[in-house]
């Protein structure tokens, strides 16, 4: 294509971006007199059909059946994998980091389409960012799946009843489409996995769906919501109405009305907000979304368009809802408007009548409202699947996906836990007052630094504890005789000696009040200690400063690290 | 089962461990008068069919078709997921870390079977541990696949020819079974992915197979090795005979005879050695493996057995080879011997005639020698697949796997890059003398501390560089006028200012000699800087100590981080 063609750059590879590219492509073929170059930038090289992610997490379908490579979906569109760092509206360039992400690239454009989606904003809920799972991308589905399988494996062998109960409690926050689908699919996965875990009884599993309002699926007519609620309850999912979660720690979640639920698994489907990039663009935001004209242009920017979840597109009295269906409808209008504009014609306002809505609730059941008719059960579920299969590119792909779904009905569900996600080296962990972080004889997994609140370290002066450690919680501190007690405030740290000397813990570490702790993983601590001289020097001076002489000698029993 | 039964504990969930458990289970049913409890401990909850990992990496098959949950494979055996930390032979207990890995568990045994496998030992080759991929577990296959797709995505959009060549060069070290299969599958994957990457020509892709000896597949008869070599060459894989690799950096590998090959991808199939646990057990090792009697007991330990890759089992003049086939044969003999022993009878020496060997070379071709007959091409490939399908549990699973393979023939190969593996926070990177780590205007991705060797930092005194950064390598340093030059030795670090102030690089960072550098990722650096007061204080004092006044002021252009 010659340089006289108009360069259209689309940022984002979700429903909004992909369907805009497809629609532009179609129009470009029709209007050969208006030459355009279309380029789409995405930070992942595939399109993810988000509504299917709960099924990937549950193992109903293979990951690859919920995603399609962008390059396959957009055959005549230039696809560029990169991360958008900055947009210069005056220069009409976008700064990208691609590949090893070190060298910034600058892409010029004539028209720019923002289809940047939203992010999950959990800052309002203490502990959520660190201790909850979300469901936006394939990686999230994998992470949740592996975590749940880890809980089952551990619950099957532990002899501590309280730990077992906590491992088998699964909490989903929010009962909109996403929350209901996750709770339904997760519960089905747990039920189907049970035959493999002889020590876990079905009655021991608790799936809780926490909903602020008095009904689930508020997006659907009340009757369908009630049907879904009834089906979920019958299968063992407990819906907690009229409450919401206030905060989370590593071991529990707390409701607004003060109830504590011990769990290792919180999945959140609430808290959408603008991405950092959208926040930094300096455009007018309305409820965290980019305000557009009814024709989806950004006011004051002649060559800038926005659609999908990141955009506030006026519609009727309010704005278009942030669903995939509306994103696709907007994509078609936006592409048409862009061509109208290129041909010096007037763009039209976005208008759309939704065709219907569907929610899968697991176990081959769904609820749907299509063209005014209501469906529930297997028929709705089949419709839901047929709709997705229709979207896939190519007959053979459709057949393969359909067959995989068919086989899922007959085959035992796989419980393979693939640990591809490594823990981040440094993570922030929340603890509630009274939480026991460590008891004597345990393995120290990292270097703990207090950020907020305080911890108490209590070590018996006698040295090594008398009895073997047990999984049934810590021994009472008073029983051990004399103790060396130290209170750790912000900036104080714990674990450096056990990590350096390879020993088990000698005493207790408990949270005095609610606190935030920075945990640096064992292996990274060792690397940093060796590599960063100031850190090493500082740590080497600690024993003399903090511990009484009796506690300074090396320990008797090494705890080797066989991680490899 | 009553406590009078004998507790047999198997450590390891590979071929050796799984087939020992299966054989013991069979014998236990036959000899009801000898009650046994069988428990298998593995650090993953699935059995991985290692020979198929190259195909997982290549996307020929789904990950879940190369693995089977241990609990499904071993239905009447207790499976415990945990990491073995220590064995107390006197007390007859094994110390495990399970679940969150903090609370050590102690499992007692009457007989202990060591099936611990080997690990890839890359310490002998500088840079290999940090810059090469191996192929032992599912996570390795995923990591390689994602990396290769990242190279293709980057190569498709870069405008720097040298970078493109390096991104499209793939080096496999070692041409035994594993190396040949990886090279063959990888090359097929690259060829099939090309239609999706319009800017990459087939001729630009180089797959190199580096072999110390003068032929590939030395385990097979020469004729079959020659056939495989000829097929690989015809398809574009280059075999480099009579040489081996000496070291690797982030950007290149170096052969023993001094040649430099610029590449981002090194896959190594050499360097097997004992796991850390095996090293620490204090048992007699022969060539890094646990020396056993011909009956597979460990001399001097009445209740200790070993088999598979971790064991040196005498056979004929030498010892049994470390292949899956021998591990399965040993498992059957070991289980029989254990029952002979429980019934006060004499165990028998291990003896086995191998039935044949097979290697897949990609593109529906394989080579095989079975019962003395030689096969090659499609027939050998089908035999190889039939053998695997026969191992799978249940008819439906077999049918699904067979159908997936069948579809692979017709469908475009998926190129979805799932970034589930996050980079480790702190990693050691090797650079060769002259390597340019950073040029002006780049994005700083981490905090760099020199461990060995030295780096040169060169910053123009004028301030911000005049021209926009380009991917075509760094500008010559001298052209910029006056420079502030600093040599960084072990313990010195770089990047803290750009990271803290969010700016692009101002100058060059180059390796003066061969060096090792500890890189702490950007996001972890930020967290640690905030959380660790000694580190923060130290870093805050740096500008006054190191930089001349002109370079101390804050930079003009922020480089925001939109990772989320």
ipTM, two decimals, is: 0.76
What is the CATH architecture of A6-118+274-354? 3-Layer(bba) Sandwich (3.50)
Closest-CA distance of chain A to residue B394, Å: 9
Task: Classify B128-270+357-410 by CATH class.
Answer: alpha beta
Quote the CA–CA distance of A361 and A192 in Å, as a whole number.
15
In chain A, which stretches have pLDDT less than 70? 1-3, 100-101, 393-394, 396-397, 409-415, 418-425, 462-481, 542-564
The answer to whether residue B142 scores a pLDDT higher than 60 is yes
Could you say which of B63, B157, B562 has the minimum Cβ distance to residue A83? B562
CB contact (8 A) between residue A420 and residue B83: no
Q: What is the pLDDT of residues B153-185, one digit of tens each?
A: 999 988 889 999 999 999 999 998 889 999 999
Go through chain A and tell me how many residues it has. Answer: 564
Closest-CA distance of chain B to residue A230, Å: 33
The mean pLDDT of B221-239, rounded to a whole number, is 91
Query: For the residues of A284-326, what is the DSSP string, one character each?
Result: -EETTEEE--TTSBPTT-TTEEE-GGGEE-EETTEE---SHHH
- pLDDT at position B557 is 36
Q: Give the long-range contacts of residues B383-391, CB within 8 A, separation 24 or more.
A: B383/B358, B384/B358, B384/B360, B387/B358, B388/B49, B388/B51, B388/B52, B391/B49
CA atoms within 13 A on the CB side of A308: 27
Element (H, E) at A553: none
Closest-CA distance of chain A to residue B451, Å: 6
CB contact (8 A) between residue A67 and residue B535: no
Q: B508-511 and B436-438 as β-strands: parallel, antiparallel, unpaired?
A: antiparallel
- pLDDT at position A110 is 97
Q: Which residues of B touch A400 (CB under 8 A)?
A: 403-404, 407, 411
Q: Which residues of A touch B538 (CB under 8 A)?
A: 534
Quote the CA–CA distance of B357 and B355 in Å, as a whole number.
7
Q: B252-255 and B93-97 as β-strands: parallel, antiparallel, unpaired?
A: unpaired
Of B489, B160, B562, the C-alpha closest to A276 is B562
Closest-CA distance of chain B to residue A15, Å: 17
Q: Which residues of B touch A153 (CB under 8 A)?
A: 45, 81, 98-99
Closest-CA distance of chain B to residue A483, Å: 22
Quote the CA–CA distance of A326 and B419 in Å, as a whole number.
28
Residue with tokens 């599993």: A205
Domain B6-54+61-118+274-355 = CATH 3.50.50.60: yes
Chain A residue closest in CA terms to B144: A420
Q: Which residues of A touch B521 (CB under 8 A)?
A: 425
> Which phi-psi region, left, alpha or beta, contains residue A359 (left: φ > 0; alpha: ψ -120 to 50)?
beta
Q: What is the pLDDT of residues B520-529, one digit of tens each?
A: 888 778 877 8
Quote the CA–CA distance of A38 and B40 in Å, as a whole number.
56
Could you say which of A102, A139, A520 has the minimum Cβ distance to residue B442? A102
A549 burial (CB, 10 Å; 0-12 / 13-18 / 19+) is exposed
Closest-CA distance of chain B to residue A541, Å: 12
Residue B430 β-bridge partners: B516
Closest-CA distance of chain A to residue B176, Å: 23
Chain A residue closest in CA terms to B101: A443
Number of Cβ pairs < 8 A linking chain A and chain B: 288
CB contact (8 A) between residue A99 and residue B154: yes
Could you say which of A154, A275, A528 has the minimum Cβ distance to residue B520? A528
Q: Which residues of A touch B84 (CB under 8 A)?
A: 562
Residue B460 β-bridge partners: B483
Domain ranges, ordered by start, for chain A: 6-118+274-354, 128-271+357-410, 426-551
Chain B residue closest in CA terms to A84: B562
Closest-CA distance of chain B to residue A387, Å: 21
CB contact (8 A) between residue A528 and residue B538: no
Beta strands in A185-282 (DSSP E): 206-210, 237-240, 245-248, 252-255, 260-262, 265-268, 272-273
CB contact (8 A) between residue A411 and residue B397: yes
- pLDDT at position B551 is 53
Could you say which of B417, B538, B560 has the minimum Cβ distance to residue A45? B417
Chain B residue closest in CA terms to A414: B69
CB contact (8 A) between residue A153 and residue B81: yes
CB contact (8 A) between residue B562 and residue A441: no
Q: Which residues of B touch A533 (CB under 8 A)?
A: 491
CB contact (8 A) between residue B532 and residue A280: no
- pLDDT at position B554 is 43
- pLDDT at position B396 is 67
Would A6-118+274-354 and A426-551 be classified into the same CATH topology?
no
CB contact (8 A) between residue B471 and residue A105: yes
Could you say which of B62, B80, B559 has the minimum Cβ distance to residue A85? B559
CB contact (8 A) between residue A471 and residue B105: yes
- Side-by-side strand order, sheet with A493-494: A426-431, A515-521, A446-452, A493-494
Q: Are B237 and B205 in contact (CB under 8 A)?
A: no
Q: Which residues of B touch A133 (CB under 8 A)?
A: none
pLDDT category, B545, cuts 50, 70, 90? low
Q: Are A524 and B425 in contact (CB under 8 A)?
A: yes
- pLDDT at position A472 is 45
Three-state secondary-structure class, residue A423: coil
Q: What is the pLDDT of residues B40-99, one digit of tens each?
A: 999 988 998 888 888 888 887 777 778 888 988 898 899 998 999 999 999 999 999 887
CA dist list (Å): B111 to A225, B38, B91, B297, B334: 57, 10, 12, 10, 12
Closest-CA distance of chain A to residue B277, Å: 6
Domain B426-551 = CATH 3.30.565.10: no
Element (H, E) at A19: helix A15-30
Closest-CA distance of chain B to residue A145, Å: 12
Q: Which residues of B touch A411 (CB under 8 A)?
A: 394, 396-397, 400
CB contact (8 A) between residue B69 and residue A158: no
Neighbours of A545 (CB within 10 A): 6
What is the CATH architecture of A128-271+357-410? 3-Layer(bba) Sandwich (3.50)
Q: Which residues of A touch B449 (CB under 8 A)?
A: 531-532
CB contact (8 A) between residue B71 and residue A196: yes
Could you say which of B102, B445, B532 has the minimum Cβ distance to residue A449? B532
Q: What is the mean pLDDT of chain B?
A: 85
Beta strands in A89-205 (DSSP E): 93-97, 104-108, 111-114, 119-120, 169-173
Q: Which of B265, B532, B533 to mutate to test the interface with A (most CBs of A within 10 A)?
A: B532
């Amino acid at each position: 294509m010659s340089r006289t063609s108009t360069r259209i750059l689309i940022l984002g590879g979700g429903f909004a971006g992909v369907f805009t590219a497809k629609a532009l492509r179609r129009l470009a073929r029709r209007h050969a007199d208006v030459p355009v170059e279309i380029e789409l930038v995405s930070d992942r090289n595939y399109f993810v059909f988000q509504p299917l992610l709960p099924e990937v997490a549950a193992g109903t379908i293979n990951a690859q059946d919920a995603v399609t490579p962008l390059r396959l979906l957009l055959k005549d569109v230039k696809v560029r994998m990169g991360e958008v760092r900055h947009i210069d509206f005056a220069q009409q360039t976008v700064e990208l980091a691609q590949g090893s992400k070190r060298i910034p690239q600058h892409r010029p454009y004539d028209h720019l389409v923002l289809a940047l989606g939203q992010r999950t904003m959990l800052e309002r809920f203490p502990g959520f960012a660190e201790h909850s799972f979300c469901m936006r991308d394939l990686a999230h589905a994998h992470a949740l799946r592996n975590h749940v399988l880890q809980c089952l494996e551990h619950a099957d062998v532990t002899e501590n009843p309280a730990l077992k109960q906590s491992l088998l409690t699964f909490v989903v926050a929010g009962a909109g489409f996403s929350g209901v689908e996750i709770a339904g699919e997760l519960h089905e996965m747990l039920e189907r996995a049970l035959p493999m875990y002889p020590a876990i009884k079905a009655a021991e599993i608790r799936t809780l769906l926490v909903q602020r309002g008095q009904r689930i699926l508020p997006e659907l007519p009340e009757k369908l919501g009630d049907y879904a609620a009834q089906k979920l309850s019958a299968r063992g999912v407990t819906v907690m109405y009229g409450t919401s979660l206030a905060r989370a720690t590593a071991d529990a979640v707390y409701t607004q009305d003060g109830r504590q639920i011990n769990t290792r698994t919180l999945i959140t489907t609430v808290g959408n907000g603008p991405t950092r990039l959208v926040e930094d663009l300096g455009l007018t935001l309305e409820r965290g979304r980019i305000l557009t004209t009814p024709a989806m242009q950004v006011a004051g920017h002649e060559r800038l368009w926005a659609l999908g979840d990141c955009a506030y597109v006026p519609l009727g009295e309010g704005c278009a809802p942030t669903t995939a269906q509306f994103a696709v409808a907007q994509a078609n209008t936006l592409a048409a408007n862009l061509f109208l504009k290129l041909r010096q014609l007037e763009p039209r306002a976005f208008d759309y009548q939704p065709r219907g809505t569907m929610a899968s609730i697991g176990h081959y059941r769904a609820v749907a409202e299509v063209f005014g008719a209501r469906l529930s059960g297997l028929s709705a579920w089949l419709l839901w699947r047929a709709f997705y299969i229709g979207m896939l590119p190519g007959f053979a792909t459709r057949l393969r996906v359909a067959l995989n779904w068919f086989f899922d009905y007959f085959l035992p569900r796989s419980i393979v836990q693939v640990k591809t996600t490594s823990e981040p080296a440094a993570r922030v962990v929340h603890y509630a007052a009274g939480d026991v972080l460590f008891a004597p004889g345990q393995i120290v997994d990292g270097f703990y630094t207090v950020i907020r609140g305080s911890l108490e370290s209590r070590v018996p002066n006698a040295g090594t504890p008398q009895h073997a450690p047990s999984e049934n919680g810590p021994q009472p501190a008073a029983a051990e005789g004399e103790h060396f007690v130290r209170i750790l405030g912000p900036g104080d740290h714990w674990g450096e000696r056990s990590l350096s000397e390879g020993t088990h813990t000698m005493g207790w570490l408990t949270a005095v009040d609610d606190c935030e702790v920075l945990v640096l993983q064992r292996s990274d601590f060792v690397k940093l200690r060796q590599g960063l001289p100031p850190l090493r020097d500082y740590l080497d001076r600690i024993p003399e400063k903090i511990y009484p002489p009796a506690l300074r000698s090396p320990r008797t029993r090494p705890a080797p690290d066989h991680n490899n």
